[in-house]
Amino acid sequence: MSKRFFYILKRELSGYFNSTIAYIYITLFLVMVNFFFFKDFFITGTLSMRNMFDLTPWIMFLFIPTVTMRLWSEEKRRGTDEVLFTLPVTEWDIVLGKYLGGLTFVVITILLTINIPITLLFLGKVDPGPIIGGYAGLVFIASAFISIGFFVSTFTSNQIIAYLLAAVAGFLFFIIGHPMLTSGTAGFFSEAMSYLGLYAHFTSIGRGVFDLRDFIYYTSFTAVFLLGTHFVVKKRY
């Protein structure tokens, strides 16, 4: 790896911001997150973002595939992967640059929800711990969704298929550990599933508990799919 991955990241980001879809994406995401948050906020009247951190992953699993679907599919469709692979960069530069490009874009959108904690600060005394923890959790879960969407987009040159594959795969990983599915199962199985699933790790982060195990989980989840992407990309033809 070299600093060249940074140029790939930069190009990926400029690709997002050069397209109108990025702005529609950001607007829609912010409107949805704000709507769902403030809808209940005035009813419950608690100065907590718990509600938002519980909800945003559900929105993300639909939105992030729109970010990842073009990461490879578009390169394949336009043949620009041939330009990339014949430039003096390694496959790792390309994979990391693209992944971080997607992640940076999503992190920017997440940070734009800053209006919510600011509103809370104006309304009273807020415990910053769970908010920081919750945002960190969102970034980690975004990273996991991006890595899985990135991986599946290497298999098709069709963006719609890439979107659907990413949404389905993300959804599966999200729900396997959900209490709705694991509550009826036996001890070990239930624990294993909730460890594998994205959901369980997220709830503890959302509560402001930043457990090392969750950190390891998200990092390794992302790493596995980045390794998979690198493998597919390295093999090419």
Partner 1 sequence: MISVRNVTKRFGQLTAVNNVSFEVKQGEIVGFLGPNGAGKTTTMRMITGYFQPDAGSIFVDGIDVALNPLKSKALLGYLPENSPMYEDMTVKEFLSFIMDIREVEQRKQRLDYVIAAAGLESVFNRFIWELSKGFHQRVGIAQALISDPRFLVLDEPTAGLDPNQILEIRALIKELGKEKTIILSTHILQEAEALAEKILIIDNSKLIAQGSKEELKGKLLSSNSTKAVLRKDDNFSKKIGEMKGVSEVKTRSLDEYTEYMIFSKGDVSEEVFELAAKTGAVLKELTAESVSLEDIFVKLTSKGEKK
- Structure token pair of residue 15: 């690709």
**Which of 15, 228 has the CB closer to partner 1?**
15
Helix intervals (H) in the chain: 4-17, 20-44, 50-78, 81-85, 91-111, 115-123, 128-153, 159-175, 179-182, 187-196, 198-206, 212-235
Question: Do residues 67 and 108 make contact, with C-beta atoms less than 8 angstroms apart?
Answer: no
Of the candidate residues 42, 43, 45, 79, the single one contacting partner 1 (CB under 8 A): 79
Examine residue 183 and tell whether it contacts partner 1 (CB under 8 A): no
Examine residue 10 and tell whether it contacts partner 1 (CB under 8 A): yes
Q: How far is the CB of 114 from partner 1 (least distance, A)?
A: 28
Of the candidate residues 1, 11, 46, 114, the single one contacting partner 1 (CB under 8 A): 11
| Residue count, binding to partner 1 (CB under 8 A) | 22
Q: How far is the CB of 19 from partner 1 (least distance, A)?
A: 6
Q: What is the x/- site pattern for partner 1, positions 21-60, by CB under 8 A?
A: ----------------------------------------
Closest Cα partner for 98 from 4, 183, 33?
4
**Which of 80, 115 has the CB closer to partner 1?**
80
- Nearest-angstrom CA–CA distance, 160 and 74: 11
- Nearest-angstrom CA–CA distance, 11 and 183: 45
- Structure token pair of residue 10: 């930069």
- Nearest-angstrom CA–CA distance, 237 and 233: 9
Examine residue 86 and tell whether it contacts partner 1 (CB under 8 A): yes
CA distances from 194 to 132, 179, 180 (A): 23, 8, 11
Q: Which residues are within 8 A (CB) of 32 and not within 5 positions of it... i.e. 6 or more apart?
A: 59
Q: How far is the CB of 73 from partner 1 (least distance, A)?
A: 14
Contact segment (CB under 8 A) with partner 1 among 3-11, 115-123, 158-166, 199-207 equals: 3-11
Of the candidate residues 27, 46, 80, 220, the single one contacting partner 1 (CB under 8 A): 80
Q: How far is the CB of 152 from partner 1 (least distance, A)?
A: 22
- For residue 68, how many C-alpha atoms fall within 13 Å in the half-sphere facing its CB? 37
Contact segment (CB under 8 A) with partner 1 among 4-12, 49-57, 110-118, 123-131 equals: 4-12
Give residues in contact with partner 1 (CB under 8 A). Answer: 4, 7-8, 10-11, 14-15, 18-19, 78-80, 82-83, 85-90, 236-237
